[in-house]
Structures are given as structure tokens and as C-alpha cells.
Structure 1
Amino acid sequence: MTASFDDAEDGFTRETLLETIRRGAGRFGKREIARELKLNSAQKAGLKSALRALEAEKAIHREGRHGWAIAETLPGVTVVEIHDRDTDGELLARPHKPRGDAPRIRMAPGEGAGGRGGPALGVGDRALVRLEPDGEGGYEARLIRRLGQSAHAILCVLRKGKGQPRLVPVDRKSRHELVPVRGDAEKARDGDLVLCRIAKERHHGLKTAQIVEVIGDASAAGAGSVIALHAHGIPTGFSEAEAAQAEKIKPVRQGNREDLRDIPLITIDPDDARDHDDAVWAAPHDDKANAGGWIVLVAIADVAAYVTADSPLDRGALKRANSVYLPDRVVPMLPEKLSNDLCSLREGEERPCMAVRMIFDKSGEKRSHRFIRGWMRSVAKLSYTQAQSAIGGSPDDVTGPLLEPVLKPLWGAYAALRAARERRAPLEIDAPERKVKVGEDGRVLGVEERSRFDAHKLIEECMIQANVAAAETLEQKRVPLIYRAHEPPSVEKIDALADFLPTIGMKWAKGEPPRPDRFNRLLEQAKGGPHYLTVNEVVLRTQSQAVYSIENPGHYGLNLRRYAHFTSPIRRYADLTVHRALIRALKLGDDGQTETEASQLDAIAGDISTAERRAMAAERDATDRFIALYLAEHVGGEFAGRITGVTRFGAFVKLDETGADGLVPISRLGDDRFNHDEKAHALVGQRTGAIYRLGMPVRVRIDEAAPITGGLLLDMLTEPEGRNGKRPSGRRPGKPGKRGPRHKGKRKTGRRR
């Protein structure tokens, strides 16, 4: 069957139909597509035949029950590169020459394990494979033949024992050690971190690798951060061109900027903040027509005044895309002269800024806004703790004089904004953050949960409103911009949630729209019960990941129709592009968005989204390693925790005290044989029917803590629950059984999901 795609008769072309389906990302059925294309009743008949035609030629495929999605197909036989392992240890691959967003490729179980007389496949290897759709939008790959290694670099620790030296990968997903090529072991000392590349093929035994860089002592203070930065390829340092440009930069002058120095703007940041890129002020609106309303001013560091398009500093900032925050250091996006000096809104110092003046009514609804290229002076640098203490009745010498004229009006405006937020009903997931406290000597002093005050929420809501205003202005002016985009959960994830909830006595109708307020009701229903933390975790995993995009699907989590990052240009490149777009749109200077930059925004959005995921992974890995270093002093200790993941090889447990994740191997769950029930998120005893379920509170003993990999290996001390919720009789888990006495020598550390 063919379709004409006649623009006049059908109301759409082939290209517009495919683009609409691509935007829908599997969520648009025929009704939604017709609505997006604004089709009348007569044109809807042509849509049905057009969809059939596209499906017949495999340009699209069905997604879930009613949706359509673009078919990102790959050849049946293709060359792939092994780039990672999943939580089950299976190899993950991607096309050797990917184009756009490549679909997920997982090697079939056992494929590439070296069972055919050849060496096993590993991360960095290339292979010719046969692909079969896995029914979930990805592919399962079966090995045809190996093609050798890519130029993948591997971070290892050199171990020199009595026998042959070994290179032990720091990535806990890597199972196999390497052997340094002849003479390379003399380049470094025992225990040094080294960067390696696979040297040559070996049909038997361990692979050999060449040491290409010696990084330093793996046991030194801060090694966890060094490993994380190298492992994830985080750019560090600044090029000579960047340093030279930064050195020559002079402070900008006020010029024709709007003078805001009479307004008592203040910064409110974490206690240890070194840069200050946002300041706030609020006051009652004096317009009688807006009785009870508020003026809110948000001023942001004017980074665009110093970092001009396509300059060395701009190219370097784009390469890094964001600052990276590790437990013991920050890898800044911009040189210190800018991030901590010229672009930082320091107390008492005059600074250029980009500001937005917003008017809200008494219910918190925004009535108008205006962007300003201004000249400001912060009257105070406050911490969240200081601001909260002052408003709570305990002001200090700094906050006392600010309480009536500055702080109380800010809290008054926040009360209105909070009311509007509650009506908007954004997603309210309880996701506490933990901070690793590191001493000057690099020793971990402890792990604490970050406090979250109204002061945090006040700043957050002010920033959200400023970000919305930026997106609205640029849309109105028809200037291209990068949105902060957050898609609703996929049909598959909602179906998985609906399948899981009945196992804990809750439900979600599969046909029910997954609006944020529906998730909030689910969380409220679970609050106070034994499964609240589990439901919170599952709801969090159901959500999509936010990205940067020139397309605007809205921000699902915040329940906003349009949203762009404007408030942190010192540490996020996305915000810098929005500043330049505003300067161009509002004719605020000649250093705004260029035509070249506008034409590259799509590519920039993709690059900074990738860099953001890279930074998040490095931050998470570094935190894991520092916590493992802290817990290495508590091996043998018993800790309370909760099961946060179950797989066919064991249970993952998050420790209550530190938030650390560790693995209890399935062999340590008792004498029964436990099978993974994927639908119920549980490990079920084959003989007794007893279970270890997601969210179950447990007590564990730390058996191993490996700071190099960040891995924790745990012993289970809590017995499983029976079918009726009671704990069955039998040997207490964690005690030696048929496995014999516990091995006292070296053992591989557990891997974290």
C-alpha cells in the first residue's frame, strides 16, 4: 500500500508526519498525531493509510498499545564496539560508526565469553555481530567474529607481586586483569594508577597492555576523584589559548547598563560555595491594581560579557559543558579568574549582570516580566543556614539588619510562589542527597544527609520562574534557543510500574494518564506505610532523564510548558547560550547570539546533554569510592539498610547511615536456591517460597570495601520473608553453610548496579 502524502489534500507531508512521530517518542497514537497536525475529519482518513504505508516500509513501528515510533533500524549484520557492561555483567555494544542516537545493543548471554577457544570479548573490543530485535526497542547481538580492539584506554592499578606483574582495572564491571608488555612494569611503582591500551591479541591467558601514562599513587588522598575523572574522560585544566585570553581580560564597565546598585540584592548559597552566580530581591508591588502582589528580581552573573562566541574560552567551556562537583574538588567550566572573581557576584563589589524583573499577583501567578542588562552590587553573601536561622528567629550580626528590609519580603514573595507551585502540582519525589565530608588531608570525615530548608526552596522557585521567563521571551521573539526538556515516562515504564504495585497492595490502572499529580497521589498514599521508600524509588526509576534540546516537549517533572536554563552560566554552558539569545532578542549588546551559534544549537544541545551525563557518572563514581574508603575502616561491622535492587545474581542494599550501595551475592542468601522474579522485583526461594523483595529492610555485614573500585561486598544477616510475610525457619543467612568456611584471602569485590 502506498500513500500520496499530498500536502493540500491530506494536511501533511511525509516529512511532517515522520517529524511528528519522532517528537511523540512512542507516546503519540493516531489521535495525538492528528491533533498535532491539526487535521480535520476528512484528512484523518488519509492519516490511517499513511501510517500503514510507513509501517509497511518499516519507517515506523508500533510502540506500546497505541503509540507509533520511528524505526531506528540497523543492518542485520554490523560491526559494533563493546563499550560497557550492564548490571548483570552482560556486554553492551554500540555501532562502530553510530549515526545519531543509536539503539541499545546487548550481547546475548554467553556470547563473547571466550568459550570457543578464543579470548573473551571485553570493553573496548570490536566485533562483527548478527542483530535480532529484542522486542524492547533494542537488539540482541550474536558474535560472528572478533575484529580486534579499539583505541579504548583502560585505567588500572599496577600490582607487582612475587609472580608476573598485573594490571587490575579500576572499573568494577571489568572482570579480567591484564599483563603489562615486557618492560612496561618498570615505568611505575607497585600500587600506581596507570592508563593502558590493549597491546595485542592472545589466544590463551590474559591480554597484554601497554602503559601509556602513569597517573600516581592509587592510595593517595583524592585518588577516588582522579580515578573518576580519568575513567569518564572529564576534561581538566585549561588550554594555553584559554589561559592567555583569561589573563588579558579586564573588568567590564557599566556603560549603558541599567543601574541596580540601589536595590539590596543578596546571594544565598551553600556554606562552602566559592562562586555566586545568582542574587535575589523581593518587595511588595505598589500597584493598587495588584494588591498583595510582589516584585521579584533575579540577577545572574553576566558571563556573556566575558566569554564571547567562538573565542578560546567559549570553545573550552563548550568542551567541558558544565562544572563537575566531586567530594574533594571542583572541576570548573571556566578559569578561576572568571568563575571565582570577575563573574562571581561578590559581596560589596560591583558586577555586570543579566536580570529579570517579575511581577506576581497575591496568588503567585506571574503577570509580567522584563529582562535587564544591569549593573549591581550584592549587599550580603548568606548561606542557606544563615538565612533560615534568621527567618526562624535567630538572626546574626549579618542577617539582623537584613531581616525586615530584605529577608521577610523574600519569604513573603516565596509564600505566594509556593501557593502557585502547589496548584501547578509538579512531581514531588523524595530524593535526599548525601554529602561526603572530606578533610584537608583527603581523609573522609563522614557522610551526612544534606539539609533542605525553606531557604533552598525559595531560591529554587525564584530560579524556576526566571528560567520560565527566559524561555517565554525567546519564544515570543522567535529567537532559537536550547530548552531544558523532560519527557513523560515511557509506556513500557508505566506498564512495569502498574505490574509491580499490586505486589505491595497498591495499584495503577494502565489506561490512566501518567500526570505528575497522579504520581504525587501515589506517593502520598504510600507515605507512613512500610513501602513508602520502595514506591519512591520505583517512581523515580520510572521517570525519563531530562536533556537539552531545541525541541520543546515541555518539562514534565516541573509540570511546565516551556523551560530553559538561564540562572547558572558560570557552571552550565546551556545557560550561556540562553544569555546570548536574550542579548540578541532584546538588543542588549553586540555580544549576543551569532548566526553561526544559532545554526549549531541542535548539535550543542546534544553535546552538552552527553557531557552532563558524563559529569553525573563521574560525580557518582567518585562519591562511591570515597564512601568505600570510609567504610574500609568498618569491614566486619553490621549496618541497617534496605534492598534497592534485585537481579539474578544477588540483591543490592543501600545502607541507611551512608547511602552506600553494596551487593549481597545470591550465594550468600541462605541454603535455598533463590530465583529472580522480575515482575515482583523479588528473589524467591525455590524450595521454601521465602522472598527478599525490593524495599525490604535488612541488616548486613560489610565483608569487603574496595576504595579503588567503589565496590562493597555484603553478607546478609536478615532472614527472608515467607509467602505470608512471616520469616520461615531455617539456617540464618550469612552464616557458613554448604559453601564451607569463609575464604580468608583475596576475593573479587562486588559490583554495584
Structure 2
Amino acid sequence: MQKPPNRSSLPTEKKILEFINHNSRPLGKRDFVRYFRLSTSNRRMLVGMLEDLVKEGKIQRGRNRRYVSNDYLPSVSVVEVKGLDDDGEAILKLSDKHFEKSKEKIFLNSKPVIKPAPGIGDKLLVKLKAKKYGYEARIIKRLQKDPINLIGLFHSQPDCGLVTPSDRRLKTKFIINTKETNGAVDGELVECETISGREFGLPRARIIKIFGNSKTVNAITASIISKHGIPQQFTEPAFLQAQNSKAVPPKNRADIRHIPLVTIDDKNARDFDDAVWAERTKNNDGWHIIVAIADVSHYVRQNDPLDQAARNRGNSVYFPNTVIPMLPEKLSNGWCSLLPNEDRPCLAVDIWIDDAGNKKRHKFSRCIMRSAARLTYSEVQDSYNQKKEIDSNISFNLIDNLYGTFFSLDNHKKKRGAIDLDKQEYHFSLSQEGSIVGIEKRVRLDSHRLIEEFMILANQCAAETLESNNALCMYRTHERPDTISVRDLRKYLKLLGIKFGDGQSVRPLHFSQLIEKTKDRKDALGIQDAILRCQSRAVYSPKNIGHFGLALRRYAHFTSPIRRYSDLLVHRALINSLNTPNREPENDNLETFIEYGSHISMTERRAMAAERELFDRMAALYLWNQEGNTFSGYVTGVERFGLFVEINEVGACGFIPVSTLEVGYHQFDEVRRCLFNERTNTKFQLGDYINVRLKEVNLATGGLVFEVKQKEKKF
């Protein structure tokens, strides 16, 4: 034990870390107070410092708010077998959620021998012992096993079946007894349930569901929906409630049907939940905007069957070939959709801004509206560029006013320093039968940005209104990047000759200036990827910490209640604050909002993971017969074992093993994020443009393996 310091002032971060690292047990607040002899006034600040160290990943918080070093694990623990490596050895992970972020590797000691051998899903009580290479786990006893379901590709064999898991973390195939194939045929995607024991050295499983041929988009989509546990069927009460919905009478609502509000969406969109309109102010010193949003809260009341179903789903999930809506189609594409020339209830916000984009005031109203036209992004952009009318119901003056407002808002956005990473998006074209015809790059038009800025402004108004009324609000929060991520980014940029930010604290403006300054560099994509990795994840919470990326002090999602439950919560809160007739009693409290925020943040991550996995699997299917073809791309990641690349033609990501690079030893530079070959004096680093040859396509996982053909020399 170190000698206690002779002072009562607050210790430095270095001293706290030294104290924790020199102790082999978890430390509570009292341990720190005694050791550092802290005064009462410094104790609360100490807890804040400890929590900051946890957020930055320098220490971890265990049970009962006790703090330990990152390499600490309890001597007796419950572990779960999460998978098997290439050698068939068990991959173990602690079951205790307090240590779920630990990066320490746990290896299973072969003694004592237990039969059958531990399989995937087994839970084991083990004794852990620290070793140079990680922790060694000796089995005390096997606990009750929870069967694990997994998705994979079925391969028919003469005497059995094999399933290759779609989860890339599972490095082994599963063997299926011929009596437990459930009629699956070679090449089908299936869902399996693991079984204890092994045959021929492989873990066992039985097939419980068949999705169809692995080379069809519908089968791939169905397997991913099942894998991620996305709810598909509505309960009967929820479905019947939607079916019995009716039109909303205009009584007790402001009538804005005379205002030519328009919806602007993608050409394939079916649910229209926002409409916009703009004109010059009377004094000709700015803009008057109206953003009208479908009044979903009229149809979905708190804790009714539809509300329970919507809350469970959290959000709609969009796939190239289908949509899993948050609300039944009768509402999402019907009564809650702002269809042209149809009366619809809405919650509208009038906003007044000056020519510099500064908001002067705003006002929310519960209204009845009638959309004048359903427009697409390309139609609106063409109308503005060519100075022509789109529709007989819509004058060109409206389009001109919308763009005038957008330019004011865009200038204000740049002034406040909002981060705008314009990542390239891709779109699959499908035939009527559902097969992939091609992949196209999405073009981001000013009309897209126009709607984005209108929605951001309306969302900002919603958060401000609720905060000013001391009402519960489901904020959309985005925390500033942690110290370690910023430090690593600075090191990387310094090696590129780029100075980033002043002092310890960074602001959104620093990032936006960096993006603008480096946009024409040959390594611009690598720099943007590094910036993106530096950012924290946006979440939903009733506790406001601001939105770092948008450079806003308060922000909430309000504009998409058809497809996001967070927006529905905000609508209800706004309607209650308006004191209008037919408003609902406020039954929610801070604790329930915290639970809701955690849940809908999870469902959002689930949807994003499912959408990304489907993209990878569809890209693999599209490239299935193109092994040997050459593609252009750029390096998105560098590790000591190889390179990660994204190919420009498809937007798919793949891997280049270090063993396939040019002859010689490649040294990994973690700071520069590059692999350097001293023999040939060449290097591969983040953002490099390279030509690659496709070597292997894995339909089960969507994995692609490439080899370098040559680095591009001209940019």
C-alpha cells in the first residue's frame, strides 16, 4: 500500500489512478476519502472525478459503486460461453453486467475435465486467476444452460447437416443430426437451437425454422428480422383499434386548410408525417415558416393497445424490400399520413426567423390541414433549378420561399458550427420479383437539406417549449466526445500535419472547421471516418445535456411520430402544455421517461444494426458471381491483422488480410493507423485509395475478402 498523502486537497487524476492500480480490491468512496484525507467540501467533487474516469474508460465501476482498474476481474465469477474460436476453444464472457465492458481475455483451463464439453450458451461458475496473457478460468461447476438460437446457412451432407452461423463472432460450424433438419435443403437460411454436447468435435444444434433460399432477398430479410428480435405482428386489440379509426372533426382545432402546405419525400415513401410552407415576413426582414406534423397522439392514447405496441417497437424499421411499421398500415399510411387533398389533424408550429437564420419566436397549435401536393425531392430541386412550377396547385413562389428560408437556416447552421458529415449512401434497385437489379449512389440534393433544416428547427422549438413550461421532455441528446477519443484524434491529425482545437475542450465548430479545411485532401474520407469514430452515440433521455453534433443546447425529436415513439411522447407533452380540449392527463413521471428513453435508444440501435446487416448481406449477394473482378475503394480501418476497405461502386465493406499484402513484414503503427513495409518502403493508412480484387464472398455472414491490386497514385 502506498503511503497516504499529507494533504486534504483534491487529488489529481494521476494520483487517483495510481491508488486504484496499486489495490487488488474494489474501492469505495470511503476508501478514497480516508486515503487522500479529503475535506467534506471535496468529497462530492471526488465522485464526479471518478465518474469522469469511468466515462473515459480509464477505470470501471463494479458492484455497490466501487471502483477498480480496467484489468480487474472478480476471483470467482459466472461466465458464459459466447462462441468458439478457430481452434474450437471456448470464447468466454463475464455474465456480470458491471464488467461487460472489460476487454480482458478469459481462457478456459482444460482441467478439470467435464463432460459433455462446454458448448455455446453454457454458463459456468469459475475461479479466475490473472496471467500474462489474460485470465485463466478453472471450472467450479456447470450452471443451468440457456439454449441459444442462431441464424445460419444450411449445408446438406451425406450423413448429417452443417450450419454456418451468420454471426461473424461464431467461428465454428454446427452439426445437425439428420432427424433434426426439419426438412431443410442445401443452401437454405435456417434458425437453429443449440443442444448440449458435440459430435465429430462440432457443437450440436437442431433446426427450428426455415426462411428459404439464401440467394433470395426475402429469405435474407426474414432471417435478419428474426435474428434481431424485431416484432412483426400487432396484437389483435391493437390491430382492431387501428381498423376502427375514423376521420378527426375540425372542432376545437385551428383551421389551416387554406394554407398550401406540401409534403416533400422520397419517390417511394408511403407515410407522410410532415408538411412545410414559408413566406416572407410582413416587414420583409425574414421568414415565416409553418411545419405541420401528423397528430398521431389523437389516435394513439397513453397505454392503450396501440400505444403499448408502438412503445414495444420503438420505431419503424426500413428495409429495401419491406417496412416493419411502428403503427398498423391503416394509420401509418392512412389516417395519420398527410395525403394530398385529404383533411388531416396535425400539430403545427409557426416559426419566425430573420434573414440571418436567427429564430425570433414560435407558436404551437393543434390544427386541421389539407396537403396541397405530394412532392418528391427531385421534383422540388428541378423546379427550383429551372424556375418552373411543379403542380397547378403550387406556385413557384412557394418553392422559392422554401429555398430562401433554407439558405438563411443553412447559414445559421454553419455559423453555430454544427457538424455535417456527408457520408455517401447507397440504394438497392429491386425487380418486381424482389431480386437485386443494381446498386445506386444516393444523390444528396439541396431539397434534402432543406427538409432537414426545417425539421431541426421545429425539433428545437419543441424542446424549448417543453423546457420553458417545466414539462417532461424526451430529449435527443448527444454527448461531447470523451477525452481519450479526442486525444487519439489529435495524435492522428498531428501526424498528418493538421492542428485540431485549442486546449482540452473541443466544440462542434472545431469539427466543422476541420471538415471544411480538409474536404479537398486526398485523405479526406479517412479524416471524416476518424471524426465519426470520435463522436459519441446520440440517445434519448429526459435529462438534457444538449446535442453536441448539432451545436444546440436543447433538442428533441418531434417531426416523425408515425415512425418514432420518442416523437409521440413529445407530441403528448406539447398538447398538454397547450391546454387544448381532449388532452390526456399527465401520468408519466421522470422514472418512466428514463425507462422509455433507454428502451427506445435500444430499439433504434437494433433497427440500425438490422438495416446495416441486411445491406452487407445484399451486397454480398449482388457480388456473389463477381469473384476476380476489380473495384476501387478506400481504407476505412487499419489493424495489425489487415485492412478494412469500402468499395466505391457498391458501398460494401470488406477485409484484406495482412498475409495477402506484398512480400515482407508489415509493421503496425497504432497512432498513424497504418501498416508499413520496411522492405518495400510502402505503407497503407486510413483514407488511402486502393484498387482491390474480390477473392471471396460469404453469403452466410455477408463477409467479403479482398486482395490489393494496386494503390491509386492519382487523386
TM-score where L is the length of structure 2: 0.86
Alignment-derived partner of residue 219 in structure 1:
215
1:178-257 to structure 2, matched below 5 A, reads: 178-181=174-177, 183-202=179-198, 205-257=201-253
Alignment-derived partner of residue 568 in structure 2:
576
What are the Cα deviations for residues 545-567 of structure 1, in whole angstroms up to 9, with x where unaligned?
A: 10001111100000000000000
Deviation at 1:699, TM superposition (A): 1.1
Alignment-derived partner of residue 385 in structure 2:
392
Equivalent of 2:138, from 128, 136, 144? 144
Deviation at 1:247, TM superposition (A): 1.8
Going from structure 1 to structure 2, the CA distance change for 1:482 and 1:593 (only over 3 Å counts) comes to farther
Deviation at 1:691, TM superposition (A): 2.1
Give 1:307's aligned amino acid.
V
Equivalent of 1:350, from 343, 351, 372? 343
Going from structure 1 to structure 2, the CA distance change for 1:191 and 1:62 (only over 3 Å counts) comes to closer
Alignment-derived partner of residue 105 in structure 2:
108
Give 2:666's aligned amino acid.
F
Equivalent-residue separation in structure 2 for 1:483 and 1:343 (angstroms): 23
Going from structure 1 to structure 2, the CA distance change for 1:561 and 1:243 (only over 3 Å counts) comes to same
1:452-471 to structure 2, matched below 5 A, reads: 452-471=444-463
1:119-138 to structure 2, matched below 5 A, reads: 124-128=121-125
Going from structure 1 to structure 2, the CA distance change for 1:132 and 1:406 (only over 3 Å counts) comes to farther
Q: Is 1:612 matched with 2:609?
A: no
Which stretch shifts more, 407-416 or 365-374? Answer: 407-416
Alignment-derived partner of residue 640 in structure 1:
632
Q: Is the 8 A contact 1:93 1:104 kept in 2?
A: no
What are the Cα deviations for residues 158-203 of structure 1, in whole angstroms up to 9, with x where unaligned?
A: 2212342112212233211111246112432233322212111339
Unaligned runs of 5+ in 1: 1-43, 726-753
Equivalent of 1:365, from 354, 358, 371? 358
Deviation at 1:496, TM superposition (A): 1.0
Q: Is 1:79 matched with 2:78?
A: yes
Deviation at 1:368, TM superposition (A): 1.1
Give 1:654's aligned amino acid.
E
Unaligned runs of 5+ in 2: 1-37
Equivalent-residue separation in structure 2 for 1:152 and 1:515 (angstroms): 45
**Aligned sequence identity (%):** 37
Equivalent-residue separation in structure 1 for 2:432 and 2:536 (angstroms): 38
Alignment-derived partner of residue 271 in structure 2:
275
Q: Is the 8 A contact 1:547 1:609 kept in 2?
A: yes
Alignment-derived partner of residue 312 in structure 2:
319
1:29-48 to structure 2, matched below 5 A, reads: 46-48=40-42
Equivalent-residue separation in structure 1 for 2:67 and 2:54 (angstroms): 12
Q: Is 1:592 matched with 2:589?
A: no
Alignment-derived partner of residue 156 in structure 1:
152
Alignment-derived partner of residue 665 in structure 1:
657
Alignment-derived partner of residue 265 in structure 1:
261
Q: Is the 8 A contact 2:265 2:377 kept in 1?
A: yes
Going from structure 1 to structure 2, the CA distance change for 1:439 and 1:198 (only over 3 Å counts) comes to same
Q: Count the aligned residue pairs.
A: 665
Which stretch shifts more, 247-256 or 61-70? Answer: 61-70
Give 1:105's aligned amino acid.
S
Residue aligned with 1:440, SS: coil
Which stretch shifts more, 197-206 or 541-550? Answer: 197-206
Equivalent-residue separation in structure 2 for 1:132 and 1:324 (angstroms): 44
Q: Is 1:293 matched with 2:290?
A: no
Which stretch shifts more, 500-509 or 457-466? Answer: 500-509
Alignment-derived partner of residue 332 in structure 1:
325
Equivalent-residue separation in structure 1 for 2:690 and 2:708 (angstroms): 8
What are the Cα deviations for residues 464-508 of structure 1, in whole angstroms up to 9, with x where unaligned?
A: 111011111111111111100000111111111122123323233
Deviation at 1:72, TM superposition (A): 6.6
Give 1:518's aligned amino acid.
H
Equivalent-residue separation in structure 2 for 1:93 and 1:548 (angstroms): 32
Deviation at 1:279, TM superposition (A): 0.1
Deviation at 1:350, TM superposition (A): 0.3
Give 1:247's aligned amino acid.
Q
Residue aligned with 1:187, SS: coil
Q: Is the 8 A contact 1:309 1:597 kept in 2?
A: no
Residue aligned with 1:106, SS: coil
Deviation at 1:674, TM superposition (A): 2.4
Going from structure 1 to structure 2, the CA distance change for 1:304 and 1:59 (only over 3 Å counts) comes to closer
What are the Cα deviations for residues 575-628 of structure 1, in whole angstroms up to 9, with x where unaligned?
A: 000001111122224343631466511100000001100000000000111111
Residue aligned with 1:633, SS: coil
Equivalent-residue separation in structure 1 for 2:584 and 2:462 (angstroms): 14
Deviation at 1:387, TM superposition (A): 0.4
Q: Is the 8 A contact 2:165 2:700 kept in 1?
A: no
Equivalent-residue separation in structure 1 for 2:575 and 2:85 (angstroms): 45
Alignment-derived partner of residue 544 in structure 2:
552
Deviation at 1:149, TM superposition (A): 4.1
Deviation at 1:395, TM superposition (A): 3.3
Which stretch shifts more, 523-532 or 651-660? Answer: 523-532
Equivalent of 1:697, from 689, 692, 707? 689
Give 2:42's aligned amino acid.
K
Residue aligned with 1:718, SS: strand
What are the Cα deviations for residues 374-412 of structure 1, in whole angstroms up to 9, with x where unaligned?
A: 00000000000000100111636x436524342112122
Equivalent-residue separation in structure 1 for 2:510 and 2:91 (angstroms): 34
Equivalent-residue separation in structure 2 for 1:438 and 1:177 (angstroms): 32
Deviation at 1:133, TM superposition (A): 11
Alignment-derived partner of residue 34 in structure 2:
none
Give 1:517's aligned amino acid.
L
Alignment-derived partner of residue 516 in structure 1:
508
Which stretch shifts more, 563-572 or 362-371? Answer: 362-371
1:441-452 to structure 2, matched below 5 A, reads: 441-452=433-444
Going from structure 1 to structure 2, the CA distance change for 1:488 and 1:339 (only over 3 Å counts) comes to same
Give 1:126's aligned amino acid.
K
Equivalent-residue separation in structure 2 for 1:91 and 1:427 (angstroms): 43
Equivalent-residue separation in structure 2 for 1:617 and 1:406 (angstroms): 39
